[in-house]
Structure 1
């Protein structure tokens, strides 16, 4: 084990105690409502991390086939690939199916369903399919009241080597809900619209084994998730500045940070230069429309304490520029050459994607574990 101050920068840090607390928070929501929790593992993409919030006994959600292969190889059997399947990936599915009997893909059009039907005879066993439903006019999905929803479900149900599993949705519009009442309204809308889709199918004699919904903002909105059978969410395990800006968590709940080092100054501009640029932080500016724009991340000392008013204003590939919101002169005690700092990420998924491993720290700032992750598609 080594001290955090000895880790070469930039590096991705996970605060273990905060991480575990965040995981327990979401699990408590699902347990209190007696619904299945299907964690989304796309943020960390790590088996060591998943051990704490998505063990192999649980169903999981993935965003890439690389994740699906990785988790299936580790013994996960119920895996939902929650991105519309592209035809050029259909030949990759059987290898996953042989490991994970309940590997499931999604579709949201007759064109996609018919392509699956044509390819399905090549699989060694039946492939489970769910239909994606649009509940908020945000991205993909079939409308709950559409005739195409019925046609797609019936076509899957009648196909020789496909298995209809149900309906799913993601209320991505919740990321535009800037107060608790808006998040609660979106959470209710999400459940009402997806359950309406399941009801529409039931009236046509098509049963849904799974009615799946969720996003971190709606899952933690503090309302009943009536009408769904399972809850999906992912970024809650670490949170980030976007979630804090929406009021879903506090800044002190953010378990991920980027370790960086002061490498210079532009004193006439009140700039601090660090060795974490957009390659380390990502170029996501998801808080630009929030009440407080965090730029490319909030600045903390090595202990993880937020330095009030200091944020990463700009990034180049390997350089980050730290400024104060009031353009004050950087104190030498905080920002001397060689000083080690931590940056709270704007979007944890985008930041985590820059790294091959995480340094996990305990309350003594000792690196107690190193978690590997996979990348690619």
Structure 2
């Protein structure tokens, strides 16, 4: 068999999914699979089949694409402010059973609500604490609750470890951030406003976050494949990393470092390289038109192509 440029071990992916979903279920919360880690419809579908409540995506076109694939619960996990995106959100809401977007501005809530009313639909919003800041959450929750066409879906945030100190303290970071989200949700509910979802993001801090009472959902991407950067911090073992790159295609790994350790590169495992960070690798593959060769028992069984369509060409 020719040496695949990028190989995905399907058996290891399935083991990773089972372990992570079992952890979440034991903690009483659900998993939402963020597609940015692999950017493939096939793996997203596998994640949902394995127990993910739905998907998180980077833009509206990705949400519409998953709707066509039969995935019915999707969140756009970035607070895009541009009004030209709003009609795409209305289209996505019309195609999906459940659809929500991250928001951090009052203008987005008002404008999106007016369009939703005109289209006879309702769009969920999640207040993004990372971009809003703690002080901005309650005013936006009040506005969402009183805006026709808008459903306050919940609050969400991602602690974004960016330094070695952050990642060395990742369990405490995840707990602190999760408790902050739970406290904000309780403040919203204290005003008589429904706030069903309390969503904490990020694979590195997920285990700590899901153990905080009141967290209802964990959004994670890299948990399905894992990577050498996560292994380096003890979040997994190198033998659990399901993705590898041929040494002949090492250029695919340029720029694929973790934000907390930009000097760390790929790890050699046998005659293949384990990427330090899966997310930028998936983006590179998408741009170059290179896919994952899916292996089962070491034999190729499929080919999954990372895809991405911008909301505006």
Instruction: Note the C-alpha offset of 1:36.
Output: 1.6
Instruction: Note the C-alpha offset of 1:127.
Output: 1.0
Instruction: Note the C-alpha offset of 1:61.
Output: 1.2
1:1-377 map, 5 Å:
3-5=1-3, 7=4, 11-55=5-49, 58-87=53-82, 88-134=84-130, 140-143=131-134, 146=135, 148-173=136-161, 176=164, 177-179=166-168, 182-221=169-208, 224-261=211-248, 275-277=249-251, 280-286=252-258, 289=261, 293-295=263-265, 297-300=266-269, 305=270, 341-355=271-285, 356=289, 357-363=291-297, 365-377=298-310
Instruction: Note the C-alpha offset of 1:174.
Output: 7.3
Q: TM-score when scaled to structure 2?
A: 0.88
Instruction: Note the C-alpha offset of 1:103.
Output: 1.0
Structure 2 Cα separation of the partners of residues 116 and 132 of structure 1: 16
Instruction: Note the C-alpha offset of 1:69.
Output: 1.5
Structure 2 Cα separation of the partners of residues 347 and 118 of structure 1: 40
Query: How many pairs were matched up?
Result: 303
- CA-atom RMSD, angstroms? 2.3
Change (3 A) 1:222 1:71: closer
The ranges of structure 1 where at least 4 consecutive aligned residues each deviate by more than 3 angstroms after the TM superposition are 117-124, 174-179, 287-290
Post-superposition Cα deviations, 1:21-70, rounded to whole Å, max 9, x if no partner, equal 11111101111112122121221122222233223973221122232121
Structure 1 Cα separation of the partners of residues 22 and 11 of structure 2: 17
Residues 32, 219 of structure 2: 8 Å contact kept: yes
User: The residue matched to 1:188 in structure 2 has which SS?
Assistant: helix
Structure 2 Cα separation of the partners of residues 57 and 352 of structure 1: 20
Change (3 A) 1:260 1:48: same
Residues 57, 76 of structure 1: 8 Å contact kept: no
Post-superposition Cα deviations, 1:108-164, rounded to whole Å, max 9, x if no partner, equal 232333333444334341111111123xxxxx2330xx2x32221121111121111
Structure 2 Cα separation of the partners of residues 227 and 108 of structure 1: 22
Structure 1 Cα separation of the partners of residues 144 and 137 of structure 2: 11
Structure 2 counterpart of 1:323? none
Name the structure where helix makes up a greater proportion of residues.
Answer: 2
Residues 44, 55 of structure 2: 8 Å contact kept: no
Instruction: Note the C-alpha offset of 1:89.
Output: 1.3
Instruction: Note the C-alpha offset of 1:239.
Output: 1.1
Structure 2 Cα separation of the partners of residues 51 and 84 of structure 1: 24
Change (3 A) 1:48 1:125: same
Structure 1 Cα separation of the partners of residues 253 and 48 of structure 2: 25
Change (3 A) 1:206 1:174: farther
Q: TM-score when scaled to structure 1?
A: 0.74
Residues 121, 161 of structure 1: 8 Å contact kept: yes
Structure 2 Cα separation of the partners of residues 48 and 107 of structure 1: 28
